[in-house]
């Protein structure tokens, strides 16, 4: 396995493992390698120092080799280093998607009747003409959803609101 330091066209650095360098080239060319920060697929290898195995790791070093030169301490407080711009945890597409799901929920709850766990029974009654035709929403188990599908009842799952559940 080869660990590559990678960089996207937006300047985000990240690492990834590949079985061979050809594997990285193939996956990058096909758009399978993307930046975890911005999802850009324009990714290339970043400059990195080679990781060479040392042969002297098992030997004890002489005490003189382990001394570190002392640095003078300044009496002034250290200045804060200007860091990189904050990185958004979700991208613009994700934000737009969440807004659409939220708008969908608002529309459904404003224009449909909430029947709760009675959804499957009420949908069947409407389908068979035993109840007035109207838009409804609620909860159904997987078995109830299969039964509704087999009966020919048209329905769609309503996605969860962003930020609820996992």
Model pLDDT for residues 51-99, shown as the tens digit of each residue: 666 666 555 554 555 555 555 665 666 565 565 666 667 788 888 888 9
Domain spans in the chain, listed from the N-terminal domain onward = 2-45, 92-151
Q: Mapping DSSP to helix (H, G, I), strand (E, B) and coil, where does residue 115 land? A: strand
For residue 163, the 8-state DSSP code is: T
Type and span of the H or E element at 2: strand 2-8
**What is the percent of the chain with per-residue pLDDT over 90, rounded to a whole number?**
40
Pull the structure tokens for residue 109. 């709850």
Q: What is the mean pLDDT of the chain?
A: 82
Q: Please state the pTM of the whole predicted model.
A: 0.45
Of the candidates 139, 142, 136, the one whose C-alpha atom is nearest the C-alpha of residue 154 is 136
Judged against a pLDDT cut of 60, whether residue 157 lies above it is answered with: yes
Model pLDDT for residues 8-53, shown as the tens digit of each residue: 999 999 888 888 888 889 998 998 899 999 989 999 988 776 666 6
CA atoms within a 13 Å half-sphere pointing along the CA-CB vector of 80: 3
């Amino acid at each position: 396995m080869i660990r590559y330091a990678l960089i996207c066209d937006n300047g985000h650095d990240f690492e990834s493992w590949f079985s061979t360098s050809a594997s990285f080239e193939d996956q990058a060319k096909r758009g399978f390698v993307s930046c975890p920060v911005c999802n850009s697929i324009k990714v290339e290898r970043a400059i990195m120092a080679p990781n060479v195995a040392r042969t002297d790791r098992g030997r004890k070093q002489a005490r003189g080799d382990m001394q570190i030169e002392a640095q003078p301490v300044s009496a002034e407080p250290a200045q804060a280093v200007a860091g990189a711009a904050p990185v958004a945890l979700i991208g613009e597409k994700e934000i737009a998607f969440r807004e659409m799901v939220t708008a969908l929920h608002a529309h459904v709850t404003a224009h449909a009747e909430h029947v709760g766990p009675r959804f499957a029974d009420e949908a069947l009654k409407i389908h068979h003409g035993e109840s007035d035709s109207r838009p409804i929403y609620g909860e159904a188990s997987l078995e109830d959803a299969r039964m509704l599908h087999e009966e020919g009842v048209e329905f769609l799952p309503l996605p969860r609101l962003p930020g609820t559940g996992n």
